[in-house]
Each structure stands twice: as structure tokens, then as C-alpha cells.
Structure 1
Amino acid sequence: MKQTIDALPLNKEINDVLHQLGVKEHNPAYSTGLAWGGQQDRTTRSILSPADGHLIATVNVATAEDYEQVVLAAQEAFKAWRKVPAPKRGDIVRQIGDKLRQHKEALGKLVSYEMGKILQEGLGEVQEMIDICDFAVGLSRQLHGFTMHSERPQHRMYEQYHPLGIVGVISAFNFPVAVWSWNAMLAAVCGDVIIWKPSEKTPLTGIACQHIIRDVLAENDLPEGVFNLIIGDAEIGSLMSHDHRVPLISATGSTRMGKKVGEAVGARLGKSLLELGGNNAIIMTEHADIDMAIVAIVFGAVGTCGQRCTSTRRLIVHENIYEQVKERLLKIYPNLPIGHPLDSTTLVGPLIDKDAVAAFKNALEKVQQEGGRLLTGGDILSGAGYETGTYVTPAIVEAENGYEMVQEETFAPILYLIRYSGEVENAIEIQNGVRQGLSSAIFSTNLLETEAFLAHWGSDCGIANVNIGTSGAEIGGAFGGEKDTGGGRESGSDAWKVYMRRQTNTINYGRDLPLAQGIQFNIMD
């Protein structure tokens, strides 16, 4: 296992990145697109990199008064933005995508340094933003409705979609910019305005995005309030969730957080789009291509140091190949390069903070108390390059699906190895036997097995893949899951509809007024 990393010119490198992206040594609490506010007399928060513990920058924390200013700006902007033709709104998003292309390397490095994911994943996240911009540009010319035949003569019926208003986006630390872009770019072409509360753990990438957007807004003489950012904690999230002026809240995070948001939004009969926990499994039948599967398993389990909602948590392997698969993984895991995320040779970066490390250790202790057997990993690294205490060795644990800890999602690189016997239906039952339902995968070259997995009695997850891992979704498909995952859908397909209100229209172009269902109602002499 790699115990040290080569020295990198991090100070200059990161300072150059921050300068390019407009991130200052100290940053204000909110932005309404063209202007920044909340610059004085605010609580401040220091943002440290989990990679090396260095202070990156500080941010002001928004107050309730700051939030009110942002909402008022967004309300005013909506009056104008909704009247801009959708293809013109799409062109603004196109320009944002072009700006992201120009800043891809810098923003990718900041994502990596602030969050801890390796540089390749940081760059991939920015590419995801670019891709969703491209998708949204095309979508801006396809916000279609439907027509249907009326039962009444000389009547026409159709359905259309209108903008909702303010869309509140509460994003998580693990994908600090991509998930926001999924929501913001689609909402923008739909005619909505956006208030974004990034994770309090990773606000600097949000500030950087706001600076990139500012140039586009200024160049197009757009009003304040279309794209808004507010830096805050749970209080700001609560204000957004309870605010009837924000018709849709899109929240990404833990199931516990999502339930609070859903309850608050539901109490005021608002709309919520929830992307919550995952407890994702890969099934390997005896007909699996093991070489192909191993790559997906390792990336799914240790990518982003196990801090993806689509991370592979459980590996359900047929007894006939179980020992072979276990042996392969036990050769790979001890040799995974663990180190600074900006080191090009690193495959596993740090956990986000020491609270995440504590959760990792606690989960391993508890699952072993239940009868699980730790096969490899589970250590907290120390020494040169690991002074932050946030670097761990990814773990593999032999376990049973019914164990309490296996039923929970631990946001860390723990892979539970589970044996099954008999037909693929037995593996599917194990996979579905958790409260979460986000992503799932099967590796098999047997058509009967893969089709059973995809059938309506198969995987109960929102994402079901064949010979592809659980992690790494494309933007073209709708992203989201069922059960405790929340039921929301973001990104591609027809996910745009959640950002709009649906309206049924009936037009009478005749000179009589026949009533539906043939009702007779005579009031004339």
C-alpha cells in the first residue's frame, strides 16, 4: 500500500485555481447573480481541505435577513425570466456550458481539493456539468405538451407546462457542483429561477460556479436573481423548506435529512424532489464475466472513498465463484494507491472529515460484533502525507444481508461480501431486502438471468444495470431511486417536468356551450 505521496506545489497550484475562479481569502454569504451580499458582521466558517488540512478560504454564514434578500431578488427576477423564450433561456445555459469548458481544469481541481475526490473524478464532475448544459440546450426547444380529442363538438383540448417559480436546491458535499447543475440548468430552461444552498462542507465550489455564471449574466444584461447562491447551515435549509414562496425543493443528502425536508415541504403542500441514501448491490451470478466485474466492483466501492450515493455497498456472489472473486479482491485492495487527491497516481483520496472516519470505524466495529468478518482494510492511516487523519484503507467484510449495519448506508469505503446459492431470484431477493432503492447491477452473460433482474419482479431500484457497476450514471437517463431513496428523478429523460406546473386547457371554438358528460342545464327563456 502506498504510504507517502510525492510533494506537490499545492500552495501555488491552489492559489492559482482560486484566483482564476474568483474565490477570495474571505467570501460573502450570498449572491444574487451579479452582486454579493452579507459581507460584514456575519458568523464565518473556515473551509479546510480534507486532503492536507490546509485552510483554503473562509466564508460568511448567511442570516435569515440575508435569505429574505435572496428570495425577494429571485421573485423579482422570475417575473422577467419566465417571459424569455425557452430557446433564448437555452442559449444562456449554452454560454454557461462554454464558460465551464474554459474553467474545467481549475474547477475540477477545486472540487478535488475541497471535497477530497481524486482529480479524475473532479474533472469528471465538471464534465457532467458541461454535459447537462448541452442536454438542457436541446431541451429548451422540446418543452412539449400534449393534445387530445374532446368529447364535445368544436372543442380542442391540450396540456401545457409552465414555469413553477423559485426552485430551491440543497446539495451535498460529495458532488458539490454536478447535482446542482442537474437541477439548475433544467430549471433555468424551464423558466424557473434558482436558489442554491451548497453543503456547508464544500461552499467554495459553489462560490466559484457563481463567479462563472456572473460573467454570462452580465454579458447578456440579465437581471439579478436568476441564479442565486446562499451559504448557510441547517437554518437556511429549514427556511427554504418551510417557505411557501419556493414551490419546489430539490434536496440531496441522507435519508434522515430528506425526511425532514419532505415533511416541511409536504406540510405546506409544496413539491419536493428528494435524492437520498443508497445501499447499492452488485449481483454476480455463476455466469458472470469476472474480469469485467472486478473493475466495476472496485471503482464502485472505493471511488470517491465510498462517498457516492451510488457507491457499491454490497457484493452478492454465487457460491460457485465466491472464493475466486474474494481472492481477486483481496489481492487488489491492499495495493490501492491511497493519497492526496491531486496526485495523478492516487485512486483513493480522503474521507471528507473526521466525523466520517468515526462513522467508518463505528460501522466496522458493529458489523464484527454482529458476526461479520473483516477480511482487509479498516485502518486509519497516519504519518507523512496522512497527517489529517482522514485517510483510511478500504475494507471488505464477509457478512449477512440481515445484519443491522449491512442494512444501513455508511458513507465510507466498506464493501460487504455476501454469498448466495441457487437461482438468480435468490440473489435479487437479497438485493431488494434493504430499505433503500437507488442503484443496482448484475453481472451475467446469461440472458435469462439478466432479463429476470430487469423484470417488474426483479430489481426494485430506480437504476438497474447489466454488466455495468452501480456507480457512474450518464446524464441522459433520469437519476433517482425508490423507497428510502426518496422517489425523485433528476437529470435526463423527462425529469424536466418536475420543474414545471402542468395545465390542462380546453378551447371552445363553436357558438354553442355543450357541457361535458352530456349534462343539460337550461337557464335561458
Structure 2
Amino acid sequence: MRVGLMYTMRRMGTASAQSKHAAILQELGIQSATVNAGVYSGGAWEMGLGARYTAVSPVTNAPLAHVSTASVAQLDAAIAAARDAQRHWRTVPAPVRGDIVRQIRDRLARHKHALGSLVSLEVGKIYAEGVGEIQEYIDICDFATGLSRSLNGSVIPSERPGHFMMEQYHPLGLVVNFPAAVAGWNVALALITGNATLWKPAPSTPLTAIAITNIIHDVLRENNLPGALHTLVCGGTDIGAHIAASPLVDLVSFTGSTEVGRTVGSVVQSRFGKLLLELGGNNAIIVNNDADLDLAVRACLFAAVGTAGQRCTTTRRLFLHEDIHDTFVERLVKAYAQVKIGDPLQEGVLCGPLHTKNAVEQYKKAIEAVKATPNGKILVGGKVLDGPGNFVEPTITSVPADAPVAQHEVFVPILHVSKIKNLEEGIKFNNQVKQGLSSSLFTSNISDVFKWTGPAGSDCGIVNVNIPTNGAEIGGAFGGEKETGGGRESGSDSWKQYCRRQTATINYSGALPLAQGIKFE
């Protein structure tokens, strides 16, 4: 069963597109004609002493802007400046810190459309998703602002008379985000809990990081606060390795692949640093035979094709009950045929390019692996599209649920479909992979809902019912189990990770009773 995908590359004229792109960059303080400084240590922007990086558009692979990257010495200077700024910041009342985050939120909202367009230009997300990413930063700032008035500890009954015992949370120190698509989660929560932050963006996405840092810097300057509360260092693997090894970095928050996360984790843990990992996610949807198929088809389409398959919560495996398998596949294939692929800033486009040329190569390897799998089939898609950009066809395959090709996450829009006999079999296949980020079940059976969300159900950190695997809200703690890393970011009580925890016991009795009734006289 093969259905052609709609591929549109209707672009504005070259001059018109370049003019629009230049206006977006100019609004956000990005220079397109000269090299942009890639280091901000709290004072003025500095030209990095490392290599020069060229940010390119994944739509055309044409240059957008040039950025200088940092040397290790410049990174050390930024770390020192951030730690110095934090010494004052940690004594500022939390509600006051929250008001600064509120001002950052308002400034981000003022430039939301330009920032969202920049995400589309630099990353390849369609405009709606680019703006949605900035809205997520705005939302976590709202969350953090309210949280700044409720960073509660606890009072614990003491077993000793005349003693008071409490648990409280203090600022940790310096929090580093590298490279993180969810940097806003880290920055907002780190700031309201009294920490300074340093952002090392992914080498391929420096422009959005520079633009947001410009905005945060303006807010800090207008409030007579040290700019080093939020520093930025662009760089490559040498900078990342130095961050992981530095004893002056209190918390490393890493978003990326399991392979790199394993290396970062080993280095940070060897120096007893704190670690927050958000790694791979080979996410699955199960569709039961009693599910609302209209709802499930729409959800699977968005979950698998949105962001061109380049979300950590993208659906990569789909388990269909044997009673509805054929009908569901037919409807999903028809839905794929309606997806327009093209320039993410063009109206009507639902799938933009892959972020890098390397991602295109990974896509091709995964397609060949499907073809080499016994009983493996390409149902729709499977091709790299001709043209200057990194465009591929969103793809549906049919493979056995335990096929090796389905056991590993590939960060591209490929959805592996498999047939199951019942929910128990679906849970087994969902849990058999090494990652454990997000999962979803579509059903109308309340017993199956609680089986799926119970202790013998999905082993993922995010377990959904009748919604897709992606599109998590900021109010719930975000993260996964197993090789996803075990970290939790964003909502709930994830703010505690940015603090050092303290139990304090105060003796006001004038006597010295010992715990556990010990007599030592």
C-alpha cells in the first residue's frame, strides 16, 4: 500500500525571503552580515576565540549567520562571573526573583513571533511549532513566577522534647544547560530558586540562544542586576567536556542522545556533581480495539509527523490491536497523504525539513534497515526528496514488534507499525525497549486505563490515555526512566533539583536529650 505525499516548495522570491529573514534577525539582535559574538559573561558580548560556526537554514542549507565560539579560558571566565553574580542573587527574596522571571516572560511574549520564526529558520520547525516552543518558555516563566511564593519546606515532629526540626531548600549555585531544547525550563526554575545559569546551546542552534540571552540581559540590566546571572557560551565538544568536568558547575542539565548522556553522566558523577538527564525516547502508542479511531488517527499523525519526527516525545512505534489493524493503517496512510512538506514558514506546510544533513543520512540508513528486516515493509514514504534542503518523506513501516530496527530511536519521521493481540502484549512490547520517556494508550475501557497507568503497565515517565505521546504540559514533571536518564524537568516539584536540601534541628530546651534514647553521660 503506497500513497504519494504532497511536497510543496512554494517560496517567496529570493529577495523577498532574504528581506524577511533579515528583519527577523535584526529584531532579535542577530547580525547577518558580520560575525556574531558567541560569548556573554555578564558585561559586553565577546567574540569567541574558538572556531567560527555558520548557522545554516535546513530549508536550503544556505548560511543564515556566523557565530564565534568560545575558548576554554572564556568558558572559565563565564563560570567565574556567574558564580560571583549568584552570591548576591541567592540572598534576594524568592518572590523578588520571581518578579524578574515575570519580566523576562513579558519580554519574550513581546518578541514571540520573531523568536518563533527564528526557530523555524534555524531548526526547521513549522511556524506554529516554532511559536509554540517560545510559548512554552513563556508558560514556564508563568509557572515559576507563581512558584516563587510557594517554595515550601516542611516541619517535622522531633522525637526529642524542646527541639524543632525542619527541612528547607537553598540555592544550589551554578546551573548549566547544555545543549538543551528545553533551556527555558531550566532557566526559569533555576533563577527563582536563587541560582545563576550558563547556557551552552547545541552547536547547530546558536542563533535562538543568542536572541533569548539578549532579551534576558536587557531585563537584568534594567533591574540593575548582574548580567552574569545568565551567561552564554557557544562551542563544541571541548566546551561541553570542560563543563561536565568542572567542579565549579553545581548542576549539569543535559538534553540529547543516550550515548552522549552516558558519557556526560559518568564524568559529572565522578566528581559528585548533580545531574539532570533528558535523553532518548523510543515512544509508543497502543490503539485498543475499543478506541475512538478518529481521535487516534489524528493523534498518531501529529505525534509521528509533527516537528518532522524530531521531538524527544515523537511517536516511533505504533501497536494496533489485530481487530482494527488493517482499517487503522488504511486511514493513517490516507492521512499521511494529506501532509504538505516544505518551507516551514509557508502557510499550510505541516512538515518541515530535518535539522541537519546528518539526520538525512540517519533516515536513509533506517529505511534500508526496514527493507532488510524479515517481513519489513514501507507502507508510505521512504524517500529523500530532491532539492537543496534536508527534506524527507514522513514514513510508515510494517515490522514485527520485536524487530531490531524498532528497538532503537532514530530522530527522524519514521513510524513502525506492528500488530498485537491484546493490551497485555502491547504493554510487553512498549516496555521491552531500553528507553522509557513517553507512551500512550487509546481505549474506552476504564479497566484498561488503570491497568495501563498502574504498576504493571507502562514503565515510562509519561503515561497518557487518549492523547498522543508528545505535547506535554509544563505543569507536570517531564522526563523518563531507564536509558532516558531518570531526570525530571518543568513542573510539579522538579524545582527541588535546583536546590540543596537541608534538614535543620534546633534545640531550645536547655537540656541535651539524644536521639534514639541514647544515654552518654
Instruction: Normalising by structure 2, report the TM-score.
Output: 0.97
Match of 1:417 in 2: 417
Number of aligned positions between the proteins: 511
For 1:157, the aligned partner's letter is M
Secondary structure of 1:277's aligned partner = coil
* Letter in structure 2 aligned against 1:21: L
Partner residue in 2 for 1:7: 11
CA distance in 1, matches of 2:10, 2:425: 47
1:398 aligns with 2:398: yes
Residue pairs, 1:144-159, within 5 angstroms: 144-159=152-167
Instruction: Letter of the 2:218 partner, please give it.
Output: D
Aligned ranges for residues 349-368 of structure 1 at < 5 Å? 349-368=352-371
Q: 2:263 aligns with which of 254, 260, 278?
A: 260
- Work out whether 1:116 is the aligned partner of 2:124: yes
Aligned to 1:210: 213
Deviation of residue 38 (structure 1)? Answer: 3.1
Deviates more, 1:43-52 or 1:115-124: 43-52
| 1:488 matched to 2:490 | no
Specify the alignment match of 1:23 in structure 2. Answer: 30
- 1:318-347 CA distance string (max 9 Å, x none): 000000001001212233100000002100
Task: Report if aligned partners of 1:52, 1:340 keep a CA contact under 8 Å in 2.
Answer: no
Q: Distance in 2 between matches of 1:495 and 1:226?
A: 20
Q: Deviations over 1:159-209 (max 9, x none)?
A: 00001000010124xx3xxx0000010000000100110000111000000
Letter in 2 for 1:451: F
Q: What's the RMSD between the two structures over aligned residues?
A: 1.0
Cα distance, 1:141 vs. partner?
A: 0.6
Residues 334, 377 of structure 1: 8 Å contact kept: no
Q: Find the partner of 1:32 among 30, 33, 41.
A: 41
In the alignment, is residue 318 of structure 1 matched against residue 321 of structure 2? Answer: yes
Structure 1 residues 438-470: Cα deviation after superposition (integer angstroms, max 9, x where no partner)? 000000011111111011110000000000000
Q: 2:101, 2:448 → 1: CA distance?
A: 42
For the residues of structure 2 that align with 1:412 and 1:279, how far apart are their CA atoms?
11
Shift of 1:34: 4.1
What letter matches 1:470 in structure 2? T
In 2, Cα distance between equivalents of 1:468 and 1:65: 47
> Offset at 1:24?
1.5
Residues 58-89 of structure 1, C-alpha deviations (whole Å, 9 max, x = no match):
00111111101101101110111101111111
Partner residue in 1 for 2:242:
239
Q: 1:21, CA displacement in angstroms?
A: 0.4
Cα offset, 1:402, TM superposition: 1.7
Structure 2 distance, partners of 1:431, 1:368, is: 22
Q: After superposition, what is the alpha-carbon deviation per residue over 1:219-241, rounded to whole angstroms, capped at 9, x for unaligned?
A: 00001310011001111111111
**2:285 pairs with 1:282:** yes
Q: Which residue of 1 aligns with 2:254?
A: 251
Amino acid at match of 2:388: E
1:73 paired residue number: 81
In structure 1, C-alpha distance between the alignment counterparts of 2:360 and 2:57, rounded to whole Å = 15
Aligned equivalents of 2:357, 2:366: Cα separation in 1:
14
Paired residues of 1:50 and 1:353 also in contact (CA < 8 A):
yes
Partner of 1:469: 468
Answering whether residue 381 of structure 2 is matched by residue 377 of structure 1, we say: yes
Instruction: Give the C-alpha shift of residue 2 in structure 1.
Output: 3.2
Is the contact between residue 105 and residue 123 of structure 1 (CA under 8 Å) also seen in structure 2?
yes
Q: Is it true that 1:182 corresponds to 2:185 in the alignment?
A: yes
**Structure 1: gaps of 5 or more residues:** none
Deviations 1:468-490 (A, max 9, x none): 00010000000000001000000
1:370 Cα offset (Å): 1.7
Matched-pair contact (CA < 8 Å) for 1:301–1:414:
yes
Shift of 1:511: 1.1
1:85 paired residue among 93, 118, 122 = 93
Give structure 2 stretches of 5+ with no counterpart.
none
How far apart are 1:54 and its partner, in Å?
Answer: 2.2
Tell me by how many angstroms 1:22 deviates: 0.4
Q: Distance in 1 between matches of 2:373 and 2:417?
A: 14
In the other structure, the counterpart of 2:296 is 293
2:459 counterpart residue number: 460
State how far apart, in whole Å, the 2-side matches of 1:413 and 1:242 are.
Answer: 35
Contact kept? 2:401, 2:419, Cα under 8 Å = no
Identity of aligned residues (%): 49
Q: Secondary structure at the match of 1:225?
A: helix
Letter in 1 for 2:385: L
Q: Is the 8 A contact 2:476 2:491 kept in 1?
A: yes
Q: 1:293 to 1:34 in 2, by over 3 A?
A: farther
> TM-score, normalising length from structure 1?
0.96
> Is the CA contact (8 Å cut-off) linking 2:221 and 2:227 kept in structure 1?
no
Q: Distance in 1 between matches of 2:175 and 2:452?
A: 36
Once the two structures are TM-superposed, the CA of residue 437 in structure 1 deviates from its matched residue by 0.2
Q: 1:201 aligns with which of 193, 200, 204?
A: 204
| Residue 28 (structure 1) shift | 1.1
